[in-house]
A and B are shown apart, each in its own frame.
Chain A
């Protein structure tokens, strides 16, 4: 080869190498976040997948209120709100100068549109129950909205903070699944299906501009691949890291920080209250006493998780610690079973895919065998679980984690899959729903927790921990997960 051709070849080779290795370096205002599940679409108001909110909540879409990192309800697109004496009419004052990503202004009309769309008869919003109480939404003027409820309720600001209640613009709502347009500090750039979603900073955001210029969510379902991606530097953070067995290695590595926080996921051993012999509270209490929570946390969750004694999150200020009530007591369990006249019991244990269920299920089966209860374990996929257990109620025992915040009211639904039917509890929850005084609400919550613990509706195991791995130098990632979201608004590189 002649000299110019040799130089040219060398240039081409070097450029190719540079292009190839370029991916590994992230600019200081870019962050690459890993997620296990890919959202099926990007409209949080159209489906139940938590993965949707994990990408768009607070980043792309905003609601009238929003959740803070500790689960408290903070102002969002509404700067303040007031409620009348009966607790039946709320007036929200909206911020001015807010625009959607496509330039359309945000006004009270958009609030009316979004909430009416969510509560419409044909809407496929997965949390329609949140909007059931709303009788009318009207725009008083461009920045004021009045929401009238059919019954007084203290829950409205909390309900409006959910991802299912975010604000959309009528012009762009139809395409929200594939081309989402919101009011958040990031706007949608691109979705390479199966691989990643890219968001970039929205320059006309109404509030504080975010420190990050670009955020990429990469979808990696395989735990080993997630480990490889973090170690190779292809990712900057993995908020819900799927391979807890590797966490010790990340802790020992100065390039990473492991953050352990809590979630709203109450993991329970659900029991079919409508089926004998589980309809006998003594049998349910026996099963709860036969279970050793710490063994399950250590064996199935690598030590990450907080024991719970009722269906409520321990980090919540209203939490009542009732763990001791159903503490590990195999002898007590055996005597309760004797009292109930139950011998030679075999129960079906149907387990969905997550590790807390599959691994936890085997540990529980062994613990139950110690008190003389045999279990038939059946491993199901989510679709089968939904069909057989959730819809068909064809099960004795199952293990599942309920990740919605403040979901005590599922115990007030007699047709919910575990079929707990107590009129007193239903009345209690109805009173709570209409109560607006904060202290009284806390008292009622305590009473509710005690009721379902005493009735031992299910065996309450532990609260799911959020174990995340973050590159050292990246600050602002939420430690807890009060709602299924990855709020990147406060994230920045500190070097």
Chain B
């Protein structure tokens, strides 16, 4: 058990290092000078050169890469070129929006998907099953930003129940903050819930066909009890994988929704940093997301073992 754990940890570190090299190389190749972008069209050559020197852009690629990695080990994640503030502070602020948003969206998706999948699996082949499958089809096909705009039109403009976007900050109170995250979370949750429903339904149907289910029914358990107590746990493995992937996607991929609702999250930070060639921010945030995905995968692996006893002997 310990050996397995140590092995996974070592591969985690190796993945991060490899990713950091790839990220750094890709960003290096991208054309565009951050100093020129910051100073605009009227600045003279000397001013741009002075800024480049100030930002440390005139050093060699290897020097900058080692500086960057070395900085992490010291806990210093660099300073943004455009904002001139430590990246760690900026990321910490943005995480307080992106992580709760991702968690809220995931929670909504699970709340919608589980009952729907159970219902559909229990009545497989029937009218309710077909209906639910049709709805999930729609949920996957509809672009989530378009759905978001519909939600804004209805709930923010027409009914004025919720704000049209922005984030007042957690210090404005739980109610205000959650109401700002609600519509974005719903928009994000819709396609995720649809995918989750389909995966879970098919995995449940597979589990329902297993021999041990037949034994349970033969022993006298009702159809519903058999589903709940036996099929569900073992059907969870593919579902857990998908949930892990979805959380990673929600964290980084919510950029379009963050733009529609002008939320100060990680996605928008990376997007703006790319436009303004704030290379350090892009590199650091991408590495952070890589780290988050690797960590989530690791946790999902651990969860597999906990959920499915058949894996414990490993």
Contact = CB atoms under 8 A, between A and B. Distances in A.
Given A20-B175, A23-B168, A24-B163, A194 B265 contact: yes
A222 B260 contact: yes
A125 B40 CA distance: 11
Interface stretch (A280-288, A320-328, A369-377, A384-392): A384-392
A49 B40 contact: yes
Contact of B39 (A48, A129, A222, A388): A48
Given A49-B38, A49-B40, A234 B166 contact: yes
B83 A41 contact: yes
Contact of B264 (A24, A194, A382): A194
A464 B135 CA distance: 47
B157 A124 contact: no
B176 A225 contact: no
B52 to A, nearest CB: 10
A22 B262 CA distance: 19
A435 interface: no
A391 B43 CA distance: 11
B36 interface: yes
Interface string A203-223: 000000000000000111110
B94 interface: yes
Contacts of A82: none
B175 A19 contact: yes
Interface string A373-415: 0000000011110111011000000000010100000000000
A234 B32 contact: no
B78 to A, nearest CB: 16
Nearest to A218: B166
Interface string B85-122: 10000100110000000000000000000000000000
B164 interface: yes
A231 B153 CA distance: 9
Contact of A404 (B34, B42, B268): B42
B34 to A, nearest CB: 8
B44 A128 contact: yes
Contact of B83 (A193, A224, A225, A228): A193
B259 A48 contact: no
A16 B175 CA distance: 5
A118 B162 CA distance: 46
B152 interface: yes
A387 B32 contact: yes
A192 interface: yes
Contact of B163 (A23, A123, A178, A382): A23
Given A23-B168, A40-B83, A124-B50, A387 B179 contact: no
Contacts of B261: 225
A69 interface: no
A24 B173 CA distance: 15
A161 to B, nearest CB: 16
- Which of A48, A196, A383 counts the most chain B CB atoms within 10 A? A383
Nearest to B165: A225
Contacts of B262: 195, 218-222, 225, 229
Contact of A129 (B33, B42, B169): B42
A177 interface: yes
A125 B33 contact: no
B223 interface: no
A495 interface: no
A150 B45 CA distance: 22
Contacts of B309: none
B37 to A, nearest CB: 5
A384 B153 CA distance: 36
Interface in A82-127: 121-127
Contacts of A386: 32-33, 36-37, 41
B28 to A, nearest CB: 14
Contacts of A22: 176
Given A122-B50, A126-B47, A222-B260, A232 B163 contact: yes
B137 interface: no
A233 interface: yes
A62 interface: no
B68 interface: no
A385 B31 CA distance: 10
A232 B164 contact: yes
A383 B277 contact: yes
A225 B84 CA distance: 28
Interface string A453-468: 0000000000000000
- Which of A21, A129, A228, A384 counts the most chain B CB atoms within 10 A? A228
A402 B42 CA distance: 10
B9 to A, nearest CB: 34
Interface residues of B, number: 59
A451 to B, nearest CB: 22
Contacts of A124: 39, 47, 50-51, 54
Contacts of A193: 83, 85, 90, 93-94, 264
A47 interface: yes
B95 to A, nearest CB: 12
Contacts of A40: 38, 82-83, 276
A443 B153 CA distance: 54
A20 B166 contact: no
Contacts of B18: none
A264 interface: no
B269 interface: yes
B46 to A, nearest CB: 8
A38 B42 contact: no
B269 to A, nearest CB: 7
B82 A225 contact: no
A19 B179 CA distance: 10
B39 A47 contact: yes
B174 interface: yes
Interface in B162-220: 162-169, 172-176, 178-179
B173 A19 contact: yes
Nearest to A16: B175
Contacts of A390: 36, 41
B165 A228 contact: yes
B160 interface: yes
A383 B37 contact: yes
A123 B172 CA distance: 39
Contacts of B174: 16
Contacts of B85: 178, 193
24 contacts: A19-B173, A19-B175, A21-B160, A47-B39, A47-B40, A49-B38, A124-B51, A124-B54, A127-B42, A193-B85, A195-B169, A195-B263, A196-B166, A219-B262, A220-B166, A220-B262, A224-B260, A225-B164, A228-B149, A231-B164, A234-B164, A234-B166, A386-B33, A390-B41
Interface of B: 31-34, 36-44, 47, 50-51, 54, 82-85, 90, 93-94, 149, 152-153, 156-157, 160-169, 172-176, 178-179, 259-265, 268-269, 272, 275-277
Interface of A: 15-17, 19-24, 38, 40-41, 47-49, 121-129, 177-178, 192-196, 218-222, 224-225, 228-229, 231-234, 381-384, 386-388, 390-391, 402, 404
**In the A-B complex, the 4 residue pairs with the closest CB atoms:** A194-B264, A48-B40, A383-B32, A40-B82
Given A194-B263, A224-B149, A388-B31, 8 more contacts: A24-B163, A40-B83, A48-B40, A48-B43, A229-B166, A232-B152, A382-B276, A386-B41
